[in-house]
Structure 1
Amino acid sequence: MPTQMHQWIRTSKRTPGIFIFGLVLAPCGLLLDLIATVAPNWRTLNTISAKPSDFYLEQGIWDMCQASGSSQNVLCNQPDVIYFQNRIIPIAQGLMVASLIVTLIGLGTAIPGVRCWRDHPNWVVAGIGGLIIFLSGVLTIIPIAWYTSIFQNITSTTTSSDIRIGYCIVLGYIGGIFEVLGGIVMVVGMCRCCNGKNRGETHVMETTAHFRHTKPPPRVRRVEVPSISRTRSTASSIPYSQDSIAEEVDFPRAKTTSYGGRKPAYDADL
């Protein structure tokens, strides 16, 4: 039939691997971005003048904390007007919050499109969700990369000769890359490529041709085996004949003696 030329069928009812990959990376990236947003450790100031050698200051985009290597006490909410007036700080705050919101929107769009409980997912809806997740990763990487490129030149009330990158930058990079990769993989499902392998589909004509050229299994020939009835043989391995067994064998009786003219009460048979 001519309509079969454009028909595709799925070889499995399981969730496509590209959606599993995207739906695993996106929540992981969301969690890492959340930590990078709220944690006050985008950079660390060490070797501060008029302070002990183990004293250091942690600066984030929302808060600032001071701590010491010899003490476990951490004091946050440290005032630093000059630091928070840098142009990168409000931009990073807005982009990181926007990235978290966009990631949630992307997951909310992609999950109904995947529809693990249906035979055929909605590829367009799931692909749009992947595109939104991809944009959320880009929104994360932009402020992280910008802050990394100028972290030595960001002004602050506290001056230090030893400025280091904090762990929030590392977590932000990893989270953004996770979201970008997960979004790209899910977008790939919007278009059928690699002969339908990205969707786990195969062409109807290929399936028909496969069964057409497949040789039928060989027929099993049934062979009837004649039953052999055995008759019992009258031959016996015992040397004596069967008639001699049926005969009554009489043994000679022992002689008896009467006492006092009385007959014995019984005869003893040997």
Structure 2
Amino acid sequence: MPRRATQEWIRLSLRTPGILIFGMVLAPCGWILNLTSTVAPNWRTLTNVNNIPADQYYEQGIFDICIASTTSTTTQCGQKDDEYYKNKIIASAQGLMVASLVVTIIGLAVAIPGVRCWKDRPNWVIAGLGGLLIFCSGVLTIIPISWYTYSPPNITTTGITNPAGVTQKVGYSIVLGYIGGIFEVLGGFVMFIGICRCCGGKNRGEVRIEEVTRSSQPKRPARRVDVPNIINTVNSRPFDADL
């Protein structure tokens, strides 16, 4: 005997629900942005550093450090800076960003079997769990990105004798990380809300069977009532012979 939920609700379309499409599009986009943010050596830029020429500046990431120039396109990466990598924020950011990338992949691998559109009804529990993992991966990205954004004055670097004279700017990796993290948080949350039916089933694209059967029943025609025509009745009466 079919379950009560199957008897009460029905999907009018075999298309993949919009909330699942939304999450499955945003999650890979966020993963690509987070991957770029993780490997790119531009979490912050240091200019006016006293131990390098005036036209050069540092580009520091969490896995690499480069020296770039305003007068040349040549970039020297792979710079050694043990003091920089000993900062607590750097080690934490490395672990959290890598964990975010791994959790996103796991979340997508879990969500795909539940989202697949070649079935009449998605597996909402599996898709919701995948969305929850994607949501958590976005949070894992936003935490180190936010921490690093507000910690530049406390991040030490080898060879800088006058930190007050150094100009620090946020790099493009921070921006990409914020966008990627927000993409995953939004995509994962929207997928997760499909784990329970709400808004009258609109989040799942479902309607009650009673509503479908009620709208499909033919309407009874209005009863016809014959009303005598008073004018014709009067005209059909014979005239009085005395008149």
TM-score after normalising by structure 2: 0.84
Match of 2:40 in 1: 39
Match of 2:181 in 1: 176
Partner of 2:73, secondary structure, is strand
Task: Work out whether residues 66 and 75 of structure 2, in 8 Å CA contact, stay in contact via their aligned partners in 1.
Answer: yes
| 1:207 lines up with 2:208 in the alignment | no
> What is the alpha-carbon root mean square deviation over aligned residues?
1.7
Cα displacement (A) at 1:102: 0.2
* 1:80-131 Cα shifts (integer Å, max 9, x gaps): 1110100111110000000000000000000100111111110000000000
Q: Which amino acid aligns with 2:204?
A: R
Match of 2:56 in 1: 55
User: Equivalences for 1:102-141 in 2 at 5 Å?
Assistant: 102-141=103-142
Cα displacement (A) at 1:4: 9.0
Cα displacement (A) at 1:6: 5.4
How many residue pairs match? The answer is 214
* 1:205-264 Cα shifts (integer Å, max 9, x gaps): 111111236467xxxxxxxxxxxxxxxxxxxxxxxxxxxxxxxxxxxxxxxxxxxxxxxx
Rg comparison, structure with higher value: 1
* 1:57-91 Cα shifts (integer Å, max 9, x gaps): 00111110001111111111111111010011111
Structure 1 residues 204 and 173, CA, compared in 2 at 3 Å: closer, same or farther?
Answer: same
Match of 1:79 in 2: 80
Partner of 1:138, secondary structure, is helix
Aligned partners of 2:154 and 2:5: how far apart in 1? 65
Q: Which amino acid aligns with 2:150?
A: S
Task: Work out whether residues 4 and 205 of structure 1, in 8 Å CA contact, stay in contact via their aligned partners in 2.
Answer: no
Aligned partners of 1:55 and 1:71: how far apart in 2? 9
User: Equivalences for 1:242-261 in 2 at 5 Å?
Assistant: none
Q: Which amino acid aligns with 1:206?
A: E
User: Equivalences for 1:220-259 in 2 at 5 Å?
Assistant: none
Structure 1 residues 188 and 215, CA, compared in 2 at 3 Å: closer, same or farther?
Answer: farther
Worse-matched range after superposition: 202-211 or 35-44: 202-211
Worse-matched range after superposition: 155-164 or 3-12: 3-12
Aligned partners of 2:41 and 2:99: how far apart in 1? 18
Structure showing the higher helix proportion among its residues:
2
Aligned partners of 2:12 and 2:171: how far apart in 1? 48
Partner of 1:99, secondary structure, is helix
User: Equivalences for 1:183-198 in 2 at 5 Å?
Assistant: 183-198=188-203
Partner of 2:196, secondary structure, is coil
Q: Which amino acid aligns with 1:167?
A: Y
Q: Percent identity?
A: 61
| 1:144 lines up with 2:145 in the alignment | yes
Task: Work out whether residues 5 and 205 of structure 1, in 8 Å CA contact, stay in contact via their aligned partners in 2.
Answer: no
Aligned partners of 1:54 and 1:182: how far apart in 2? 43
